[in-house]
Amino acid sequence: MNSLFLFHLAGLALLGLGLFGLVQRKTLVGMLISVELLLNGAGLSIVASAKLTPADDVLGQLSSLLIMGLAAAEATLVLAIILVVLRRFGSVETDTIATLRD
């Protein structure tokens, strides 16, 4: 087992935990936390792949920065969406706001 796979293993652990949380959580805030875990894992894997293979190092590090910017934008928008949902349904639990299913 080389160190590239070890770093990918950490990214995979974050991926698994994030997906688990995304399905299992019942509130939008909990799901937001899980998505942040997923994005962290993605950035870690990209930097590891760029650092330990002949791929362009600058490309890998800048991709990770791009992911961080996207995560910041996503967190801002999700916060605003959560506020609107709370205003409209009075709750942020996914079972309460599943009106399309009824």
Does 89 sit near other proteins (CB under 8 A)? no
Q: Does 54 bind other proteins (CB under 8 A)?
A: yes
CB of 26 to other proteins, least distance (A): 5
What is d(CA 62, CA 49) in angstroms, rounded to the nearest whole number? 13
CA angle, 18 as apex, 14 and 100 as ends, to 5°? 165
Q: Are 97 and 89 in contact (CB under 8 A)?
A: yes
The verdict on 98 binding other proteins (CB under 8 A) reads no
Site string for other proteins, 1-40 (x = CB under 8 A): -xxxxxxxxx-xxxxxxxxxx-xxxxxxxx-xxx-xx--x
Provide the minimum distance between the beta carbon of 8 and other proteins in the complex, in angstroms, as a whole number: 4
Q: Does 97 bind other proteins (CB under 8 A)?
A: no
- The whole-angstrom separation of Cα 35 and Cα 49 is 21
